[in-house]
Structure 1
C-alpha cells in the first residue's frame, strides 16, 4: 500500500530479531505521514548479504507528544493504516 502525506498510520508492534531501522519507541504508536521518499532496497535483509528486493518505500512519519514532534524514517512494511 502506498501512503500519502497527512495520512495516519500505525507502526507494527511485532518483535524483530537482528538488524532493523524501526526504533522500539515508535512500535505500536500512531503517527502521520509527513513525507514520502523513494523506494530503496530493504536494509533488514541487505545486512545479511541478501539483495534487499523487493524495494520498500520509505516514509517520514511524525509522532506528536505534547509540544514536541519527532520525525522517524520508517519503511513501508512496518506501517499499517490507522483507523
Structure 2
C-alpha cells in the first residue's frame, strides 16, 4: 500500500526544489529513491546532509481542481522527505 502524504505548504525564501503548485497538495509515495544531498543546501554552498527522496504521485484533479480535463491523470514529482507530512485524507 502506498503511503499517503501531503506536501508541506511552506514558502521559504531562496532556492527550493519543491514546485510551488504542489505545496499543500496530497498524493501517495509511489516509491522511495534513496538518500541524496539536499539541493536546497548545495545551492548556497552549505554542507548538504543526505535526505530521503521520494517519487510522489498526484492526481491532476487534486492539483488543478475537479474541472480540469482528465482529472484522474497523474503527475509524478520527486520530493525530499522534509517537505512531506502524513495525510490520512489523501487519495
**Alignment TM-score, normalising by the size of structure 1:** 0.89
- The residue that corresponds to 1:73 in the other structure is 78
- The residue that corresponds to 2:54 in the other structure is 59
Aligned length: 78
Map 1:34-45; keep pairs closer than 5 Å. Answer: 34-45=30-41
Aligned partner (choices 72, 79, 87) of residue 82 of structure 1:
87
Confirm or deny that 1:14 pairs with 2:19: no
* Distance in 2, Cα, partners of 1:14 & 1:48: 19
Q: Looking at secondary structure, tell me which structure has more helix per residue.
A: 2
Q: What's the offset of the Cα at 1:51?
A: 1.4
Q: What's the offset of the Cα at 1:68?
A: 1.2
Unmatched tracts of structure 1, length 5 or more: none
Q: What's the offset of the Cα at 1:16?
A: 1.4
Structure 1 segments (4+ residues) deviating >2 Å:
none
